Amino acid sequence: MQYISTRGGMAPQGFSDILLGGLAPDGGLVVPDVYPQVDLATLANWRSLSYPQLAFEIVSRFATDIPAADVKRLVEAAYTEHAFGSKAITPLTELEEGLYLLHLSNGPTLAFKDIAMQLLGQLFEYVLEKRGEAVNIVGATSGDTGSAAEYAMRGKRGVNVFMLSPHGRMSPFQRAQMFSLQDANIHNVAVEGTFDDCQDIVKAINNDAAFKQKYKVSAVNSINWGRIVAQVVYYFHAYLQVAQQIGDKVDFVVPSGNFGNICAGHIARQMGLPVGRLVVATNENDVLDEFFKTGRYTVRTSAHTHATSSPSMDISKASNLERFVFDLIDRDSAALAGLWREVDNTGGFDFGKTPFFARMVGEFGFSSGKSTHADRITTIRAAKAKWNVVLDPHTADGVKVALEARRAGVPMVTLETALPAKFEDIILEALHTVPPRPAHLTDLESLPQRSEVLPNNVEAVKRYVVDALN
């Protein structure tokens, strides 16, 4: 399998070549030149597979330049009962008839990002060792990507991590998870700005070809293709557990900020998984809700990005949307590049009066909904009262939208994003009690923390990276 750029300016490359990169050289995102196809007979045969076995079947179809035996070994090392608390890796709970919760947050950092990051850590170390190379990961996080990446990469040979986060905008638990790590290869940078500012700095560094090459800059945030591939697996896993008959439709609701998690669902659908609808759930930062309801994609400025009680979704520039739009416009790279020039110059584009709007809702099965702080509190209380389940605020956004969007006779799966222990303040507000946390994290916030506060400035971050490496 070969990989190309959404913007058309990259010669085709193999999986190992694009794994270590972030943005393509032309500023686009890498995508496979064609999606592997899975027919219903194959799906039926996969029904009896364990999670690692299913992951091997899917990942090996994308990582065709890595020997199958090596892919199998790496997948088995990533998806263990020890790391995820159960052999199922991503177990399901049926909340009520036809309404399911897919548990994705039982990994080391209690967030869905662990599912992809644990595999990515294995893949990075494997490829770097084969090539005798080292990389410096420069990433941005709104809370969960950072800790998942750092826990997956800590102590890994040939890898340094520089993780940017918005200063003062993460929960105390999220901050402590990252800043308490003392590994020499982990560097935390608190940027005086929003997550979007952090993401813009990472993109600017990736677009500086000379700096990127000299300092071997790589990325692990949701623009990394390896992460998307790993996330595709749990859509198949959930479908195979929920569908009564292979071929029946199953709907998914996904709390979304950067569009990476639900982009994996889109790719699963393109591969042949019988996904009915993909429902985007946003918080008060409703750029994606507006896009799927009206066709208008309008990036908000930092000043107009709300700090909410589901902070990991406080994002107003959805990087992975580019991958979906590329497929939506029939993979016309010149048109795609033009659209993103429009985003840079005017702040967005409008599909509302074009055939593309009807396609994304009809042919591609997307819809959306939003949730507010009051909705979050109400949903957390209702879930505890009705199902005896405690939801984190982001998952609550998803469940709120799922209850509005569910269809008679079609199973609806909401993707859990984190455990409630990561967001004690809102759980305390909703339920008047502190959520339990794993014993090994009891005193997390009291551990020594180290980070560097830097201004919202690309050059300042570059200087920090250079100084840390010298």
Phi, psi of 353 (to 5 degrees): -110, 20
Nearest to 222 by CA among 125, 312, 134, 289: 312
Distances (CA, A) of 30 to 51, 189, 229, 316, 447: 26, 27, 12, 21, 39
Strand partners, 251: 412
Q: Which two tokens stand for residue 173?
A: 């638990």
Residue 275 has φ and ψ, to the nearest 5°, of -80, 130
Would you say 190 and 165 are in contact if contact means Cβ atoms under 8 Å apart?
yes
Catalytic residue among 72, 113, 400, 422: 113
Tokens standing for 283? 């918080």
- Return d(Cα 51, Cα 40) in angstroms, integer: 19
C-alpha to C-alpha distance for 371 and 392, rounded to whole angstroms: 13
**Cβ neighbours of residue 441 closer than 8 Å, sequence gap 6 or more:** 110, 421
Greatest alpha-carbon pair distance for the chain in Å reads: 61
Residues in CB range of 105: below 8 A, 6 or more apart: 111, 112, 114, 392, 416, 417, 418, 419
- Are the CB atoms for 112 and 258 separated by under 8 Å? no
Angle among Cα 445, 201, 394 to the nearest 5 degrees reads 45
Q: What are the start-end ranges of the H helices in 138-222?
A: 144-153, 172-179, 195-207, 209-214
Other Cβ atoms closer than 10 A to 345 = 8
Question: In sequence order, what are the residues at sequence separation of 6 or more whose Cβ sits closer than 8 angstroms to the Cβ of residue 182?
Answer: 448, 450
How far is Cα 56 from Cα 75, in angstroms, rounded to an integer?
6
From 281, 277, 257, 263, select the one nearest 322 (Cα to Cα).
263
Active site residue 353: no
Q: How many CB atoms lie within 10 A of CB 96?
A: 9
Name the 3-class secondary structure at 136.
strand
Using CA atoms, how far residue 428 sits from 177, 308, 436, in Å, is: 20, 16, 11
What's the distance, Cα to Cα, between the start and end of the chain in Å?
A: 38
What residues are labeled active site? 113
